[in-house]
Amino acid sequence: MNADSFEKEPASARSDTEPTVTNEAQAPKVQSGLLLLALIGVHRRPSAVPESSRRYRGSDWLETCNLELETSRGAVAEFALPKRRIEMKGKTMLARKRFTVLLVVALLKSAAVWAADTTEPITAILGAQTREIAALREESSGLKERKIMGISFWEGRLAGRRAVIARMSGGKVNAALAATLTVEHFRPSEVIVTGIAGGLNPELKVGDLVIARQTVQHDMVRLQASGIEHRGARHPVSGRRNPVFFEPPARLLEIARRAATQIPFLPIGLEDGGPTSHSVRVVSGIVATGDAFVASDGKRKELRDLLKADAVEMEGAAVAQICFQFGVPCIVIRCLSDTADQTAVEDLEQFADIAAINSARLVYGICKLLAEGEKTPNPKE
Ligand code: ADE
């Protein structure tokens, strides 16, 4: 567009078909234009005495007046505004002043909202399956969905805490992708992995919860004739070897333990009287992660013997590795849906929904404590 586009044409030269602002739908556009012009220093030309004309608006005749505006650089724009609106506000100059005040207030308000959003810490919550994040999405308020590389992230508030929730899909690679996008786009102050797992500790039953005090990738190994050696991957930047076991910060672990004492969990019912008879247990333990659904006594024994793992799943330590490499605190919460043995597939089908809810409840409790801690910061920190 050249500068001539801003030159005012004489009113008489305008054709009747020239677009004019005569209906409600167009009025916001005029206001946005005025907003913009007000920002770049517009003043009304003294010669631009409102000139009335009658234009048809929908089913109604509306009296309009033409308003010419000249920018500080001399460019002129012309608008036809409903006259009644201008008359209601008195002189045009007064209307412009009010308009500028409103604009400044609106800008200040948006700046305040933006500042609050960017300075308030946000907790990221990642689950592999829809059911693992469903209860958390339901409990959240003001959720806004944002798709990044096709992955949905729901940002809102959970238990008073600013939170972003995402579904990773299953397995270590998907988990690493979601974790990386989360860290890069939301800069969370902590990442919580939530969901179900297969139990390995014989003292734990379906429905019990494991707060991971350590996570380990059970398939990040060197296989030799002499046996299996677990080794961390090398950090891609520093070249240093990652630890085999990733740990949450003590503060986050403590918050999770505390939350577990405050949350009512759902008992998992078995018809034959199995796990129903015990109340839900929450332990701090070791969660082993690998790209395998474990439904084998042999494998569960191996994971227990080699790693002393309490539960096995397919994402936790992958997220923990990404968080470790980016320096973001991470904790993994799991509720047992099965015991990783021959009946694991059927057990999971039967108990996964309730187990997912129990894990989500604990995450809710963690967010609540984080939100409360934010209001009354620990003086030692
Ligand atoms: N998630 C839930 N149960 C599991 C199992 N048995 N193995 C791996 N991941 C799981």
CATH code assigned at 183: 3.40.50.1580
Q: CB atoms < 10 A from the CB of 25, how many?
A: 8
Ligand 1 binding pocket mutation candidate from 348, 351, 354 (most atoms within 8 A of CB): 348
| 103 and 181 assigned to the same domain | no
| 168 and 289 assigned to the same domain | yes
Measured CA to CA, the distance from residue 281 to residue 203 in angstroms comes to: 10
Handedness of CA 240, 242, 243, 246 (dihedral sign): positive
Residue 282: CB within 6 Å of ligand 1?
Answer: no
Which residues span the domain enclosing 188? Answer: 121-375
| 31 and 63 assigned to the same domain | yes
Task: Evaluate whether 319 touches 193 at the Cβ level (below 8 Å).
Answer: yes
- Long-range CB pairs of 115-119 (<8 Å, 24+ gap) are 117/162
| 97 and 136 assigned to the same domain | no
Residue 89 φ/ψ, nearest 5 degrees: -90, 0
* Total number of domains constituting the chain: 2
Distance, CA of 309 to chain centre: 31
Determine, yes or no, domain membership for 134: yes
| 332 and 275 assigned to the same domain | yes
Say how many Å lie between the CA of residue 337 and the centre of ligand 1. 8
Q: Tell me the mean pLDDT per 10 residues along the chain, length 381.
A: 34 33 34 43 39 42 44 45 50 75 82 70 98 98 98 98 98 98 98 98 96 98 94 95 98 98 84 60 98 98 98 98 98 98 96 96 98 70 44
* CA-nearest residue, atom 1 of ligand 1: 197
Determine, yes or no, domain membership for 109: yes
| Helix-then-strand count for the chain, H and E | 9, 16
Per-residue pLDDT, 206: 94
Q: Which residues contact 366 (CB under 8 A, 6 or more apart)?
A: 123, 192, 252, 255, 256, 259, 331, 333
Determine, yes or no, domain membership for 11: no
Distance, CA of 208 to chain centre: 28
Per-residue pLDDT, 67: 46
Q: Which residues contact 65 (CB under 8 A, 6 or more apart)?
A: 50, 51, 52, 53, 80, 81, 83, 86
Residue 312: CB within 6 Å of ligand 1?
Answer: yes
Determine, yes or no, domain membership for 256: yes
Say how many Å lie between the CA of residue 175 and the centre of ligand 1. 15
Residue 222 φ/ψ, nearest 5 degrees: -110, 120
> Final residue of a domain: which of 117, 137, 166?
117
| 284 and 230 assigned to the same domain | yes
Per-residue pLDDT, 184: 98
Determine, yes or no, domain membership for 3: no
Identify the DSSP state of 99: H
Residue numbers annotated as active site: 132, 338
> Final residue of a domain: which of 86, 117, 148?
117
| 31 and 144 assigned to the same domain | no
Say how many Å lie between the CA of residue 163 and the centre of ligand 1. 26
Q: Are strands 209-217 and 245-246 parallel, antiparallel or unpaired?
A: antiparallel
> Final residue of a domain: which of 66, 93, 117?
117
Determine, yes or no, domain membership for 131: yes
Residue 107 φ/ψ, nearest 5 degrees: -65, -40
Per-residue pLDDT, 102: 87
Per-residue pLDDT, 244: 98
3-state secondary structure of 309: coil
Per-residue pLDDT, 113: 63
| 106 and 127 assigned to the same domain | no
Per-residue pLDDT, 219: 97
| 163 and 72 assigned to the same domain | no
Determine, yes or no, domain membership for 88: yes
| 81 and 177 assigned to the same domain | no
Query: How many Å from the N-terminal Cα to the C-terminal Cα in the chain?
Result: 57
Say how many Å lie between the CA of residue 216 and the centre of ligand 1. 14
| 150 and 76 assigned to the same domain | no
Per-residue pLDDT, 361: 98
List the beta strands (DSSP E) in the chain: 42-44, 51-57, 60-71, 76-82, 123-127, 141-148, 151-158, 161-167, 190-199, 209-217, 221-224, 227-230, 245-246, 282-289, 311-313, 330-338
Per-residue pLDDT, 278: 65
Per-residue pLDDT, 100: 83
Determine, yes or no, domain membership for 12: no
3-state secondary structure of 160: coil
Measured CA to CA, the distance from residue 326 to residue 324 in angstroms comes to: 5
Q: Which atom of ligand 1 is nearest to the CA of 352?
A: 2
Task: Name the residue among 283, 297, 285, 306 with its Cα closest to residue 218.
Answer: 306
Tell whether pTM > 0.85. no
| 112 and 237 assigned to the same domain | no
